[in-house]
């Protein structure tokens, strides 16, 4: 019986907390296993933008697949990366992988599909830039929209910080006296930053400022 390791990814911390997108990917993986047979050894979930090259959880899933002699199972090819070089490097790693949405695709087809996805991302970026230039030419005050967006980000950051008030106070009451110690406490307890990373002293400093618990 074939062995698999699944890799699921969402682009935002909010999707990661809510399960939005993850459950659909998990369902696709389960349907694949029922139809094709096989055992799922481990599931890896990453909250990260597909345009970023740093994908630590993906690296872990590849390493685990190699150790277990398993096939890496991905719900959708675009969950892997919209980057031809990234897909190519995975192909060269020696780990077999299958995209559930194109299970019978060979390596050449997957490379072509990744190229199209990368091209689509470039087109979206260029259309966005063109729309902003056109709006600026029409006299639209883009800075106003930017300030509104920045304000929304600030409110979101404060709301996120409030969700961590209790564990932060717990860290302080347990004797964590430095930013590094608080960061270690939060990370060890399973709490992550808004971007899904381990806590760092600088991140804790910003958290304390938003909670008005500056040290």
Phi-psi region of 19 (alpha: psi -120 to 50; beta: other; left: phi over 0): left
Q: What is the pLDDT of residue 67?
A: 92
Q: Of 11, 49, 88, 200, which one is the catalytic site residue?
A: 11
Q: Does 11 qualify as catalytic in the annotation?
A: yes
* Contact criterion met (CB below 8 Å) for 68 and 51: no
In 3-state terms the chain splits into helix, strand, coil percentages (rounded to 5) of 60, 10, 30
- Domains of the chain listed by start with CATH number: 3-113 (3.40.50.1390), 142-210 (no CATH)
Q: What is the pLDDT of residue 153?
A: 72
Ranges under pLDDT 50 in the chain? 13-20, 50-51
Round to whole Å and give the CA distance between 52 and 11: 10
Q: What is the pLDDT of residue 48?
A: 67
Look at residue 43 and give its three-state secondary structure.
strand
Q: What is the pLDDT of residue 18?
A: 39
* Contact criterion met (CB below 8 Å) for 71 and 5: yes
Q: What is the pLDDT of residue 6?
A: 93
Look at residue 48 and give its three-state secondary structure.
coil
């Amino acid at each position: 019986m074939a062995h698999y390791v699944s890799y699921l990814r969402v682009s935002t911390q909010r999707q990661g907390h809510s399960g939005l997108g993850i459950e659909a990917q998990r369902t696709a993986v389960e349907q694949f296993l029922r139809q094709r047979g096989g055992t799922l050894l481990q599931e890896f979930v990453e909250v990260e933008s597909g345009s970023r090259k740093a994908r630590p959880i993906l690296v872990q899933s590849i390493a685990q697949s190699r150790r277990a002699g398993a096939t890496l199972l991905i719900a959708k090819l675009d969950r892997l990366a919209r980057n031809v070089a990234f897909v190519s490097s995975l192909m060269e790693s020696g780990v077999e992988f299958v995209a559930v949405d194109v299970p019978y695709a060979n390596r050449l087809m997957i490379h072509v599909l990744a190229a199209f996805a990368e091209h689509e991302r470039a087109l979206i970026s260029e259309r966005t830039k063109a729309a902003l230039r056109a709006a600026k030419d029409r006299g639209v005050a883009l800075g106003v929209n930017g300030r509104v967006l920045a304000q929304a980000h600030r409110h979101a950051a404060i709301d996120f910080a409030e969700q961590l008030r209790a564990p932060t106070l717990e860290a302080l009451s347990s004797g964590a006296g430095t930013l590094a110690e608080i960061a270690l406490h939060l990370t060890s307890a399973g709490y992550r930053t808004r971007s899904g990373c381990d806590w760092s002293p600088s991140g804790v400093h910003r958290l304390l400022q938003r909670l008005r618990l500056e040290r």
